[in-house]
Chains A and B, each alone.
Chain A
Amino acid sequence: MSGRKILIAVSAFLAVVAVAGGAAFFLLRGAGFGPFKPPPPPPPPPDASFQALEVRASDAAERPEAGQVATDSSQKVIALLNDYYTLAFLRPQRWTPDPSPSPGEKTIEETITEYFLPETQASIAERIGALSLAELGGRFERVNPVRQEAQVISFHIEHDVSAPVAVATIYFEGSGTTKDKKEGPVTIVHTATYWMLAVGDTYRILGYEVEFKADTVKETAAFGLVGSRGPR
């Protein structure tokens, strides 16, 4: 074959490849494939964000600074509530046991337990169903917070103007999207009273009275108080 014919053949081949590749590019891009238009990422799971509606200071010495101490301390209580409720109610996927957990990795239940004082931690296991999504978590793809209120946070102010103990009455409502697409959204409501003691620069839960509702499921529990109740 002469050089001219070879040149014509190669050029024709390259032209066919270019046309075919271009067509493939446009076709795949339109379908959302390829590196040039990645699919949109799922929205990140939300975090809890409680609002304190009322903060009270019970001060034996009736000092004007007691109110500010209570306000400042309420931020620490809010931080505890946000961390706890994020984990307990807004991370449903974590309630499905990991078949291959990393060595040393804590379960979600173990992590939640750390928000309680040591003398209260033993109570968590049998009351976990009232304190969190627990086994219901596997039913949900996602839970979005709807209403998050620390309705009242009270502090006892000591003579040294510290706030060693707090009581918080809270209301949490979330909307759960189930994995089963035939189900509609599920309203999740958790109401609680938490008694907390200051530990270092934060608070930990000493006792609680809680009620959890989701659809027909209702769990109540109390601990630290006389008449402590376990799961139903």
Chain B
Amino acid sequence: MSKTYLRPRNRRRVAKLAALLLAGVMGGTVWWAARPFRSGAQSPGPEAVGIHKVEGAVWRPERGDLLFVGVLGSDNRSGPPNAGGGCDAVHIVAINPQLRAGTILNFPRDSYLEGRKLTDICRSAGFAAGVDVLRRHTGLPIHFWAQTEFSNFMALIDALGGIEVNVPQAMNDWRSGAFFSPGPTHMLGGHALAFTRNRYDAPGGDFGRTTNQGVLIQAALQKFRNESTDPHRIFDYVKVARRHTTLDLPIGDLIKLAWLAREIDPAAMVNVTVPGSTGSAGAASVVFLSPGDTYDRVRSDAIY
């Protein structure tokens, strides 16, 4: 049996190539791991993030109507969410304006609804379709829905100067880039994204991740409330929203939503993850939801 024999010159060439290859792999790994912190990278344009009014929905806060808002985050790294992105974060925010309180309902992205995973429904049929499925499943009259995706999510938080999040437990997850000690933490966009994406180091995996996303929503409400005691400052938020999102709703409705957000005490918003269990549907790993009376309780007065 003969051995492969390389001349010394060729051995040096191979060594250099191997070193370059290794450097490329290591650099790529570092670049990939650092992606949550690359704020402002390739903004996909205003259509990627938006607030929309559900067609036919009527919300009359002057009559004391309850409010239900869908909040969905795309797992699309760049480009509009409807161009191939799935629902990576799914929530319904329910508010009782008279009581200034409400509920944040959190849904695992692999929730199995109408024979499909919710994230796949969003990916193939669009986020509006995902909202429709949620409305049918929960029986909650969703009036508006907000969508976001990675880069615009980060840009929004950066534009507002960051956000204070009460991290519920220590996190050390290299996959998401979530490295936090428990307690109040000032987060810029990249940190906030890592916090909301961490599922390998969150109690309950995907359930824990979606619960933490609800924590972020509460933090956002608190920030807005703190900064809008001067009513004129609300326009700073509208300006940022206009710059980074599509606002597909009447301006009067937007102002009313801002009023409501200003008045709500985030501590009075109950963060609830819809219970369920993991399983399989065919070859897919899914979550079968077991809401019990969750939706009935929220439907009656928006309070869990």
Contact = CB atoms under 8 A, between A and B. Distances in A.
Interface of A: 56, 58-61, 117, 119-120, 122-123, 152, 154-156, 158-159, 164-165, 167, 169, 193, 195, 197, 206-207, 223-228
B264 A226 contact: yes
A197 B98 CA distance: 24
Nearest to A226: B263
A202 to B, nearest CB: 16
B15 interface: no
Interface stretch (B79-87, B184-192, B207-215, B228-236): B228-236
B116 interface: no
Contact of B231 (A58, A122, A167): A167
A117 B262 CA distance: 22
**Interface majority SS on B: helix, strand, loop or mixed?**
helix
Which of B60, B61, B231 has the largest number of chain A CB atoms within 10 A?
B231
Contact of B232 (A56, A61, A123, A227): A56
B100 A224 contact: no
B142 to A, nearest CB: 19
A76 B62 CA distance: 26
Contacts of B256: 207, 224
Nearest to A225: B259
Contact of B239 (A156, A164, A223): A156
Contacts of B238: 58, 60, 156
B242 A224 contact: no
A206 B232 contact: no
Given A167-B235, A193-B231, A226 B251 contact: no
Contacts of A117: 252
Which of A60, A164, A223 has the largest number of chain B CB atoms within 10 A?
A60
B231 A159 contact: no
Nearest to B243: A60
B46 to A, nearest CB: 9
B54 interface: no
Contact of B251 (A56, A154, A197): A197
Contact of A122 (B61, B62, B236, B259): B62
Given A117-B252, A167-B232, A223-B62, 15 more contacts: A58-B236, A120-B62, A154-B232, A154-B235, A156-B242, A159-B242, A164-B251, A167-B231, A167-B234, A197-B255, A225-B259, A226-B259, A226-B262, A226-B264, A227-B263
Nearest to B97: A226
Contact of A119 (B62, B231, B235, B236): B62
Interface string B253-292: 0011001101110000000000000000000000000000
5 contacts: A119-B62, A165-B255, A207-B256, A224-B62, A226-B262
A225 B263 contact: yes
A119 B242 contact: no
Contact of B259 (A60, A154, A207): A207
Contacts of A193: 231
Nearest to B252: A197
A61 B242 CA distance: 9
Contact of A123 (B60, B62, B98, B231): B62
Contact of A226 (B231, B232, B235, B260): B260
A60 to B, nearest CB: 4
Contacts of A169: 231-232
B232 to A, nearest CB: 4
A152 B230 CA distance: 11
A206 B231 contact: no
Given A58-B239, A60-B243, A227 B231 contact: no
A17 B172 CA distance: 118
Interface string B65-101: 0000000000000000000000000000000011010
